[in-house]
A and B are shown apart, each in its own frame.
Chain A
Amino acid sequence: MKQHPLCTDCEHAPDVLDLPIPSGLKAEWAAIETRRRFLGRTGKVLGWAALANLLGSRALIGDAHAADTKQQGGPPEGEYLKLPHFAPKAKRAIYLFMSGGPPQIDLLDYKPNLAALYDKDIPESVRGGQQLTGMTAGQARFPIAPSHWDFKRYGKSGTWVSDLLPNTGRMVDDLTIVKSTNTEAINHEPAIMLMNTGNMNAGKPCLGSWLAYGLGSMNDNLPTFMVLQTKVNPKENNQPVSSRLWGSGFLSSEFAGVGLRSGADPVLYLSDPSGVDREVRRHMLDAVEEINRQTLQELGDPETNARIAQYEMAYRMQTSVPELADLSKEPQSTWDLYGPDAKEPGTFAYNCLMARRMAERGVRFTQIYKRGWDVHGDVMGMLPILCRETDRASYALVADLKQRGLLDDTLVIWGGEFGRTVYSQGGLSKDNYGRDHHPRCFTTWMAGGGVRPGITYGETDEYSYNVVKDPVTVRDFNASILHCLGIDHNKLTYKFQGLDQKLTGPVPANIVPGILA
């Protein structure tokens, strides 16, 4: 008896594709999910899932185990990753982050010829059809606003520095000034993300996390990476900074920056509540750790390890942080150097002093955020305040590290997320002017281990608008920082989302030999 074509008798399953039917129909048939196929495939999928589960949990436990030995005080992370790649010049770094975008023309990028061009329009050819921010794109004119302040030459290198920064002037022979830093982002959030994480979108690990991950801790009692925020001056135009900037992204959250508060109590709830002594606290933590370890056994999530490590760190910080924040033993010379502001917790000067104390105590990377540099208007009113807050303390930090013999192996970095325009935002008058965001050039400086002191690198055109010599992109800048710390930026990678992720991103980055010692 001739069998019906759709009768799928398991013994005599006919091959439909052999039947004399139109090819379109055959294709359709092939695409139809039969029950048999569905069950067959599901079986396979489940098999694979089971296998993946077996292998996966093995792999996870493997990872957890590696992190576990670390938590137990195993080989330092650096050794585990075969880092540093080469003998580093700097063991630690301090990053003074000037959030908002300091105006390079008024501080370090001296353009004496601009005075003659006061209130003239900036040539269209210089702007080169650049897309501006919404804040100035609508302006009818782009009048040149020369710096209100005079500049003087300082040091053996004869570097020109604005009268706003007399103390920075005193240390120019120790600084490596980069006038040609440039970024791709024109607004705060993407620009500050790019500067810190190498990517304009949030979610990637920041420089400090990469260093913590790559180099590990130099001490057992303080975090590897610490963040200090400067108390906000409400008069200034403060752009928000958030913990995304010191987040660890896809790296374990152990490597995220630990922020100290800018108030009197640097870490909240650090002291034991009344009635709980050290002994009780220890027992409690041991019990919590036991529970966490069970969770780790069951789930194998490496983040559980991070949690265990953080509990332990917090316990040790209960003694180390009060000691760190106890400034009573600082000699008078400290206050003479940093100024009276340094006695008030949360000021930039206080944070600089803390950064020096952290450097002495083996903190790998300290980042100080100072907000308020976003001077869209009232440059003449705001800049003196901002410079008074930061100039002396920055100098004090470098000088203090130097006299204590720490500058040899500490890299100090100063910079914001972009520069500011030569043309005035809003009205230009003899009494005041404003400056908009400017990504094409901005000035940064470094000092200490790994960089060449007393030089100025890169040049901008006569309008401080475009870089004309030796441009330094953000990724080159970050690659050079990593280099100072003994890291080849192409080799410090982490597999995530199918990519070997790195701080400098997928676009090729180069270290800048001209600024490196």
Chain B
Amino acid sequence: MALFADRLILKDRAARARALGAILLSALLLLLPWMFPLDGKQHADWQQFLGRFHPLAVHLPIGLIVLVPLLELAGLRRPALREAAGFILRIAFICCLGALTLGYLLAYGSGTNGTIVQRHLWGGITLSIGVLACIFARSAWTSHQFPRAYPALLVSILGLLAWTAHQGGSLTYGVNYLTEYLPAPLKNIVGDSKAPSSASFYAMHIHPILDANCLACHGETKANGGLRMDTYDQLMRGGKDGPAIVPGKPETSLLLQRVTLPVTHKLFMPAEGKPPLKPDEIDLLRAWVRHGASSTATVVEGISIPEVAAEPTPEPVGDYSSLRPEIDQLNKGQGVKLLPVSSKPSDGLILSTIDTAPTFGDAQLRSLEKYFPFIVEAELGRTVVTNASFDALSKCPHLRAIHLEWTGVTGDGIAKLAALSELTYLNLTGTRVSAAAAASLGSIETLRHVYLYNTPAQPAPTTESVARNTP
């Protein structure tokens, strides 16, 4: 910087004074974090009040900085615009200083700190100095000295701007904001998800609540009040005001105290006008703390969460468009039909035999072999298929549901269905499937719904869950 100034514009005293001023100002900005260190404590209210205008004000310099290269480019055709660029650059710098001051007031006043806050802060400081440097580089550029310096500097501050803005966005909306709704394939590439993966009550029900409501300010990136809640250990460690959670004692746990205060209370959480926790979420937290706030327990007494078994996303089947005319032809008849699950071919076909059941046997099933790769559901209820059908069915790689109710199958060879990696539903109602054959289905991990009503394999009727009186 100094060298640059020396060689360039020290020809007159005014220029020298300007350069000196710029260097001093930059040094001052760089020293700011040491003069008023972010110590994680809250300071004066007026600082926070003013600071909260930062998210509003910060967009002005962003707009102006982006305008500069646009003006420079447009200036290639209309020189008057290029002249404006210098002016805009100066205004941008002044706005940068303003936004920086407000941002610093916000961080300092509210006692925020964390990795992302630090990154955002340094991004802001560097960016301001960069814009200042641009002003000087531009005047050199217009006098045809260092023709490369200015464009290079401009490009790099644009990159820096994007990065800093992203850090700011992550502070406000949370780190996952951009990737939350990323389409699944891309998400796998990005490869995130730090959520605990066990099946404990904490992992299934408590962490998601904290993740949705608290982690934006009490996480890895921002640990307001010294409290982090992104892992179980951090959560139990607590913050500056003491432990957030006292196992067994929801009343004395700060976490529950804070979320149940009146919304207008100064200490109410989630702070900064974010939506309060829902009553059922608070109930879950309270029950979990009361029963020891364990990280491993899978059940919390008195709380039953209806298990909505997350159905696995079905694998897309291949494209059957080339078979479409034949399928349409088949569906026109009064016999067997291959009905699309939905308008998306990748959802597959349903084999429907309802109108031809009395005459639909193993041979008819085998004759449909060329459609097997696309069949996801086989409705063979009340048909005359036999145990031989298991062989054919096991050749439908995407089969998810098989209806064999009221058929003559007895279960010999049913183990062949183990070849079906997506099978979740098997209806054997009213067949003569033996208990042994039914037991062999246990090896199919994906199978969730097996119906054995009215079969020899039907489990002994469990005592009806009679109305129990739990006041």
Contact = CB atoms under 8 A, between A and B. Distances in A.
A85 B328 contact: no
Nearest to A150: B469
Interface string B446-463: 000101011000000000
Contact of B467 (A74, A154, A404, A405): A154
Interface string A470-490: 000000000000000010000
Contacts of A152: 467, 469
Contacts of A158: 304, 470
Contacts of B403: 405
A80 to B, nearest CB: 11
B381 interface: yes
Nearest to B448: A408
B347 interface: yes
A85 B341 CA distance: 9
Contacts of B341: 84, 87-88
Nearest to B346: A87
Interface in A386-431: 403-405, 408
Interface string A364-390: 000000000000000000000000000
Contacts of B344: 86-87
A218 B333 contact: no
B405 interface: yes
Given A152-B469, A218-B354, A405-B449, A87 B304 contact: no
Contacts of B468: 153-154
A452 B306 contact: yes
A72 B352 contact: no
A272 B153 CA distance: 93
Contact of A219 (B347, B354, B471): B354
Task: Name the prevailing secondary structure of the A interface residues.
Answer: loop
Interface string B374-393: 00000001000000000000
A166 interface: yes
B451 A362 contact: no
B429 A87 contact: no
A403 B453 contact: yes
A156 interface: yes
Nearest to A331: B454
A243 interface: no
Given A157-B306, A166-B467, A73 B429 contact: no
Interface-centre pick from B352, B354, B470 (highest chain A CB count, 10 A):
B354
Contact of B342 (A73, A76, A88, A408): A88
A76 B470 contact: no
B306 A361 contact: no
Contacts of B332: 69, 72-75
A461 interface: no
A79 interface: yes
A302 B369 CA distance: 39
Nearest to B304: A156
Contacts of A156: 304, 306
Nearest to A91: B350
A76 B342 CA distance: 12
Interface string A64-83: 00000100111110110011
Interface string B269-310: 000000000000000000000000000000000001010100
B334 interface: yes
A517 interface: yes
Interface string B333-373: 11001011111100100001011000000000000000000
Nearest to B424: A408
B12 interface: no
Contacts of A72: 332
Interface-centre pick from B304, B306, B454, B469 (highest chain A CB count, 10 A):
B306
Given A158-B470, A362-B354, A455-B306, A404 B451 contact: yes
Contact of B306 (A83, A360, A405, A454): A454
A148 to B, nearest CB: 19
Interface in A331-380: 331, 333, 360-362
B464 interface: yes
A155 interface: yes
Given A87-B347, A405-B453, A153 B425 contact: no
B-side interface size class: 35 or more
B444 to A, nearest CB: 16
B449 A408 contact: yes
A170 B339 contact: no
Contacts of B470: 153, 158
A76 B327 CA distance: 11
Interface string B396-437: 000000010100000000000000000001010100000000
B342 A86 contact: yes
Nearest to A86: B342
A200 to B, nearest CB: 32
Task: Name the prevailing secondary structure of the B interface residues.
Answer: loop
A85 B342 CA distance: 6
A220 interface: yes
A-side interface size class: 35 or more
A122 B352 CA distance: 57
A362 B357 CA distance: 12
A73 B381 contact: no
A439 interface: no
B465 interface: yes
A405 B333 contact: no
Given A88-B342, A455-B306, A73 B328 contact: no
Contact of A84 (B334, B337, B343): B343
A405 B451 contact: yes
Nearest to A163: B467
Interface in A433-491: 452-455, 486
Interface in A198-240: 218-221
Given A75-B328, A404-B453, A452-B308, A84 B342 contact: yes
Contact of A405 (B339, B355, B425): B425
B242 interface: no
B429 A404 contact: yes
Contact of A73 (B314, B333, B340, B454): B333
B172 interface: no
B160 to A, nearest CB: 40
Contact of B405 (A83, A221, A333, A404): A404
A189 interface: no
Contacts of B342: 83-88, 486
Contacts of B451: 403-405
A300 interface: no
Nearest to A173: B306
B331 interface: yes
A131 B344 CA distance: 48
B449 A76 contact: no
A132 B384 CA distance: 61
A169 interface: yes
Contact of A169 (B308, B352, B467): B467
A404 B334 CA distance: 26
Nearest to B309: A517
Contact of B355 (A75, A219, A331, A360): A219
Contacts of A486: 342
A144 B331 CA distance: 60
Given A87-B314, A88-B342, A361 B453 contact: no
Contacts of A76: 331, 337, 339
Contacts of A85: 342-343
B180 to A, nearest CB: 16
9 contacts: A73-B332, A75-B331, A76-B331, A79-B339, A85-B343, A153-B471, A360-B381, A405-B403, A486-B342
Interface of B: 304, 306, 308, 314, 328, 331-334, 337, 339-344, 347, 352, 354-355, 381, 403, 405, 425, 427, 429, 449, 451, 453-454, 464-471
Given A73-B334, A152-B467, A405-B453, 18 more contacts: A75-B332, A79-B339, A83-B342, A85-B342, A87-B347, A157-B304, A158-B470, A218-B352, A219-B355, A221-B355, A362-B352, A362-B354, A403-B453, A404-B451, A405-B405, A405-B427, A408-B425, A517-B308
